Amino acid sequence: MPGTEPRRPRQLAFDLPVDSRHGVEDFLVGPSNEQAYGLVESWPAWPDAWLRLIGPEGSGKTHLAAIWAARAHAWTLQASEIDEGKVPHLASGGALVIEDCDAGRLDERALFHLLNAVKARGGFALLTARTAPDQWGLSVPDLLSRLRLAPAAEIAAPDDALLRALLVKLFVDRQLIVDTGTIEALALRMERSFAAARDLVDAIDRLSLERGRRVTRAMASEVAASLFDAE
């Protein structure tokens, strides 16, 4: 119709790679993670050869583990990849990051032998998980007992300042420009967790791509409402 603005066509939102930086200068430190950060950074003066890093999904465990891996020249692998045949080779590296110890299949005896072999060689192992070993469903008593004794660095839910800083970082990782007012509005409305911040920014990014428009406060609030207001 005359005078009617043509509707902007919707665009396809592809899964483009996100520029997530895992350097020490990119890690956001706050009250919820400063104890974990300090303990990991204290290497090689750890109280034990093994250190457990515990935190909820999206809390920065992988980022913090990557910082340590870079310093310690550690190899990184998933816990589910470990089997007895790989133990000698993995132990020879001197330092290991073993990710997601509570996520899926785990060869418990192979893990126990690997950790002992690393320690016997004077090496170190950093193990990440969302939960404590008692919740992993372990059936090898020696492994459970030893993991209970290993020092743990725990990441808690983010405080207000860290949540806002995290939102800013997540938008920057996606090369999105968002004003301070939008960050404040989102922080007040959203669930207070690392995973929620990640999912929120991802959804906003997708909607921005679909509509072919820059992120505005109205758009961000629309997404936040769809994710959180029904809860």
User: Domains, the chain, ranges and CATH?
Assistant: 29-154 (3.40.50.300), 160-228 (1.10.8.60)
The radius of gyration of the chain from alpha carbons, rounded to an integer in Å, stands at 21
The answer on pLDDT for 3 being more than 60 is: no
Backbone angles phi, psi at 159, to 5 degrees: -80, 175
Question: Model-level pTM?
Answer: 0.80
β-partners of residue 152 are: 52
* pLDDT of residue 167 exceeding 90: yes
Residues in the chain: 231
Q: Could you read off the pLDDT of 7-56 as tens digits, one per residue? A: 444 443 344 445 455 678 788 999 999 999 999 999 999 999 999 999 99
The structure tokens listed for 9 are 């066509």
Q: Is the pLDDT of residue 231 over 60?
A: no
| Residue scoring higher pLDDT (107 or 11) | 107
Which neighbouring-strand residues pair with 126? 51, 97
Q: What is the distance between the alpha carbons of residues 23 and 13, in angstroms, rounded to a whole number?
A: 28
Q: What is the mean pLDDT of the chain?
A: 89
Average pLDDT of span 197-202: 95
- Phi and psi, residue 221, nearest 5°: -65, -35
Whether residue 4 has pLDDT greater than 80 = no
Rounded mean pLDDT, 138-159? 95
Which H or E run contains 40? helix 34-41
Q: Please name every residue paired with 97 in a beta bridge, in sequence order, or none if there are none.
A: 76, 126
Contacts of 60 (CB under 8 A, 6+ apart): 27, 28, 33, 155, 194
DSSP string for 182-209: HHHHHHHHS-SSHHHHHHHHHHHHHHHH
Q: What gap in Å lies between CA 16 and CA 14, rounded to an integer?
A: 6
pLDDT level of residue 230 (50, 70, 90 thresholds): low
Strand partners, 77: 98
